[in-house]
């Protein structure tokens, strides 16, 4: 009898449990408490950047992630706390800038001088010096390359000595990659005939026939002195820098960027990342910010890994992260420090890369051990080949478990035989496509010649070889135009047309930058700014495409990027920017 009662009690309990589960299931299907998503967006043109499902009409978001994707009819009955009719507006994944310098904005504190002739420019220099007797250093901007560089000869210290023999003059070029110093400045730095070049031909002090410095200083040889000689110390400059960085980051956010790679700050890393870390603590960092440590002299390569790890400890946060080293493998063409396989015309200069293949291989093996990535500045084909050779050597030693993601930025000239190697070696190619317009200056074309100059920036060839191609702004100058230069939509238009906006043309018709066959499709450009950019930053499981399970980072454009006039793309601005399901810029349309 007791057993029978026990059996009946257990059966009753099982029945009650089944009823409860059924009730919960029913509640799950109909109640907001269990099933309602936060937002359903419908009647939209959603370009997902997912090759398996490139277009969609509707998407559902819950807890900051995409949870459903499909046709309007498929999501029509899904319970939602809010439904948004986009009225056929374009929705894209949020943007990623793979090479930027927002933290360096307003670090420099130049005295502005100008003049259309050498005499007029030097007169402006003298006038500025007379008006600022209190300044220890006269840090001036900017002298034009065409005015003072001819072949292998550059600006001379004696010219500045003639007007300012007793003041310390640091005169920056228009490229920001070389500098003109007078004798007093060289003496202040301790630079003499016996001073070694950090890297001959690249990070170097130009010298006369006796070996004495001429006053023309290139790349890292000058940059290595910045943070000590020009430390930010004045309260008004410190405040101006922080305010300007916060403002520029807001502009980048308004452009739809939710992740950026900061490619370095010329030795001011501690100062800049302290500012970015402070902005994050204050709740004023509107995007994910990936910092780095720059190598612009061979000596800095020896401490780079330890410095990145120190940055992680001292400045790292939820949004501010450090997982990469930045290497200047060469310089730029205009000052003949970019490393090409053939010499420059007119000077016969042939610069070597900053690190040898063996030195770079050793660095890659150390990065592998510490689980860090590498970003490389590489303009010339020789620099790029050296990087590829080093990656190949390191991979052969590590085999399939090679950790570093190596990104090569700029790739101004790539030997065609090396293009398939980029993909084969798993190297990421990063271009700044807003550079792809016709240049008004003939400096680089004169140095390289028609053949090489006409083959520059082979972005489409690299993309179609199967490589992961990302895009970027790489700018920190520009004054009032800086927000425009940082816009991905300027990059998209110029990368697509190989023309600058017509409003910028120097002639009635500037034409198309050759080779015209390298014009990228808009789909390629969007992919590079989204899915590929996320891969570069190791965010491919979270960002870069509209897919179920990924973080809800997206933008809304009121004009359709794919159907509008190509010469108007640069004017685009998202009406809505969402990061992790939260509105960062703009507002949901009514």
pLDDT in tens, 530-543: 999 999 999 999 99
> Around Cβ 501, how many Cβ atoms within 10 Å?
18
Average pLDDT over residues 32-51: 89
118 plus 241 within the same structural domain:
no
**203 and 342 within one domain:** no
Of 398, 384, 397, nearest to 427 (Cα)?
384
Span 568-572, mean pLDDT?
98
- The continuous run of DSSP H or E covering 403 comes out as none
pLDDT at 590: 78
The yes-or-no verdict on residue 14 having pLDDT over 70 is: no
Q: Are residues 178 and 267 in the same domain?
A: no
CA–chain centroid gap for 390, Å, is 23
- Does residue 136 share a domain with residue 284? no
* pTM exceeding the 0.75 threshold for the entire prediction: yes
Confidence of residue 1 (pLDDT cuts 50, 70, 90): very low
Please report the DSSP string for 315-381 in residue order: H--SSEEEEEEEEE----TTTT-S--SSPPTTT---PPPSS-HHHHHHHHHHHHHHT-EEEEEE-SH
Residue 309 lies in a domain: yes
Residue 32: predicted pLDDT: 41
Q: What is the mean pLDDT of residues 190-204?
A: 97
Bridge-based pairing state of the strands 58-62 and 39-42: antiparallel
For residue 393, the surrounding DSSP H or E stretch is helix 381-398
Q: What is the C-alpha to C-alpha distance for residues 105 and 13, in angstroms, rounded to an integer?
A: 69
Q: How far apart are CA 322 and CA 263, in angstroms?
A: 11
Domain of 367, in residue numbers: 97-103+236-544
Say if residue 194 is in the same domain as residue 150.
yes
pLDDT exceeds cutoff 70 at 505: yes
% residues pLDDT > 70 (the chain):
94
Residue 281 within a domain: yes
Report pLDDT for 440.
86
Identify the pLDDT of residue 29: 37
Q: Which of 147-151, 153-157, 239-243, 288-292 has the lowest mean pLDDT?
A: 147-151
Residue 21, in any domain of the structure: no
Mean pLDDT of 61-79: 98
What is the layout of strands, in order, in the sheet containing 205-207?
A: 111-112, 137-143, 168-173, 178-181, 213-218, 205-207
pLDDT, tens only, 513-532? 999 999 999 999 999 999 99
- The stretch 466-479 carries a mean pLDDT of 95
pLDDT at 87: 97
CB atoms near residue 497 (< 10 Å): 20
pLDDT at residue 9 in the model = 43
Instruction: Answer yes or no: is pLDDT of 22 > 80.
Output: no
Decide if 587 is inside a domain: no
Residue 540 is assigned to a structural domain of this protein: yes
| Numbers of helices and strands, H then E, in the chain | 22, 24
pLDDT per position as a tens digit, 99-114: 999 999 999 999 999 9
Same domain, 173 and 267: no
Structural domain count of the chain: 2
Residue 167 domain flag: yes
Burial class (CB in 10 A: 0-12, 13-18, 19+), 16: exposed
Give the per-residue pLDDT at 33: 42
For residue 391, give the CATH number of its domain. Answer: 3.20.20.140
Structure confidence by residue, pLDDT tens digits, 255-292: 999 999 999 999 999 999 999 999 999 999 999 999 99
Domain check: are 205 and 251 in the same one?
Answer: no
Task: Specify the pLDDT at position 478.
Answer: 83
pLDDT of residue 271: 97
User: To the nearest 10°, the Cα dihedral for 573, 575, 579, 585?
Assistant: 90
C-alpha 33/C-alpha 278 separation (Å) is 38
362 with 498, same domain?
A: yes
Kindly report, residue by residue over 293-330, the tens digit of the pLDDT.
Answer: 999 999 999 999 999 999 999 999 999 999 999 999 99
What is the model's pLDDT at position 49?
A: 98
Last residue within a domain, chosen from 544, 565, 581: 544
Q: Which of 180, 203, 229 is the last residue of a domain?
A: 229
Segment 455-476 shows an average pLDDT of 98
174 plus 316 within the same structural domain? no
Predicted confidence (pLDDT) per residue in 344-365, tens digit: 998 989 899 999 999 999 999 9
Shared domain for 259 and 358, answered yes or no, is yes
Domain finish residue from 199, 214, 229: 229
Binned at pLDDT 50, 70 and 90, residue 19 comes out as very low
Tell me the pLDDT band of 479, cut-offs 50, 70 and 90. confident
* 180 and 280 part of one domain: no
Angle in degrees, CA 101, 104, 108, rounded to 5: 140
Residue 17 within any structural domain of the chain: no
Shared domain check, 199 and 289: no
Here the CATH number for the domain that contains residue 130 is: 3.10.310.70
Say if 92 falls within a structural domain.
Answer: no
- Mean of the per-residue pLDDT values for the chain? 94
């Amino acid at each position: 009898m007791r057993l029978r009662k026990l059996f009946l009690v257990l059966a009753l309990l099982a029945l009650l449990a089944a009823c409860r589960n059924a009730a919960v299931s029913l509640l799950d299907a109909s109640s907001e408490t269990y099933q309602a998503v936060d937002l359903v967006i419908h009647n939209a043109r959603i370009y997902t950047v997912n090759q398996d499902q490139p277009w969609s009409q509707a998407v559902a978001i819950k807890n900051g992630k995409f949870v459903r994707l499909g046709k309007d009819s498929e999501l029509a009955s899904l319970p939602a706390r809010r439904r948004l009719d986009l009225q056929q507006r374009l929705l894209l994944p949020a943007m990623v800038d793979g090479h930027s310098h927002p933290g360096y904005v307003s670090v420099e504190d130049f005295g502005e001088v100008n003049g259309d002739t050498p005499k007029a420019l030097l007169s402006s220099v003298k006038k500025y010096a007379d008006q600022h007797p209190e300044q220890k250093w006269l840090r001036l901007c900017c002298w034009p390359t065409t005015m003072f560089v001819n072949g292998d000869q550059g600006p001379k210290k004696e010219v500045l000595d003639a007007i300012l023999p007793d003041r310390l003059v640091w005169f920056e070029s228009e490229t920001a990659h070389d500098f003109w110093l007078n004798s007093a400045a060289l003496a202040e730095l301790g630079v003499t005939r016996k001073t070694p070049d950090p890297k001959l031909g690249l990070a170097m002090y130009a010298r006369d026939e006796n070996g004495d410095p001429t006053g023309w200083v290139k790349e890292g040889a000058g940059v290595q002195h910045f943070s000590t000689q020009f430390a930010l110390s004045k309260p008004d400059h410190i405040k101006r820098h922080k305010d300007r960085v916060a403002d520029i980051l807001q502009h980048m956010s308004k452009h739809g960027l939710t992740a950026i790679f900061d490619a370095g700050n010329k030795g001011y890393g501690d100062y800049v990342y302290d500012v970015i870390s402070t902005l994050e603590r204050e709740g004023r960092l509107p995007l994910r910010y990936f910092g780095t440590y720059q190598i612009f002299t061979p000596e800095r390569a020896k401490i780079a890994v330890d410095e990145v790890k120190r940055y992680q400890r001292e400045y790292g946060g939820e949004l501010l992260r450090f997982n990469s080293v930045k290497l200047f493998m060469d310089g730029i063409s205009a000052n003949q420090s970019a490393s090409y396989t053939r010499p420059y015309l007119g000077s016969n200069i042939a610069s070597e890369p900053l690190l040898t293949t063996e030195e770079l291989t050793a660095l890659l093996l150390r990065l592998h051990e510490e689980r860090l990535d590498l970003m490389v500045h590489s303009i010339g084909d020789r620099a790029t080949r050296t990087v590829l050779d080093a990656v190949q050597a390191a991979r052969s030693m590590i085999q399939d478990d090679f950790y570093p993601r190596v990104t090569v930025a700029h790739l101004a000239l790539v030997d065609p035989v090396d293009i398939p190697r980029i993909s084969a070696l798993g190297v990421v190619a990063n271009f700044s496509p807003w550079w792809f317009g016709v240049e008004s200056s003939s400096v680089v074309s004169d140095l390289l010649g028609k053949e090489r100059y006409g083959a520059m920036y082979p972005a489409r060839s690299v993309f179609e070889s199967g490589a992961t191609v990302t895009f970027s702004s790489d700018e920190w100058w520009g004054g009032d135009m800086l927000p425009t230069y940082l816009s991905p939509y300027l990059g998209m238009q110029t990368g697509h047309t190989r023309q600058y906006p017509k409003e910028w043309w120097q002639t009635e018709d500037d034409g198309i930058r050759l080779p015209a066959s390298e014009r990228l499709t808009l789909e390629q450009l969007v992919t590079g700014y989204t899915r590929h950019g996320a891969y570069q930053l190791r965010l491919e499981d979270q960002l870069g495409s509209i897919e179920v399970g990924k973080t809800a980072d997206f933008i809304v454009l009121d004009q359709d990027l794919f159907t509008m006039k190509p010469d108007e793309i640069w004017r685009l601005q998202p009406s809505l920017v969402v990061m992790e399901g939260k509105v960062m810029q703009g507002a949901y349309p009514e």
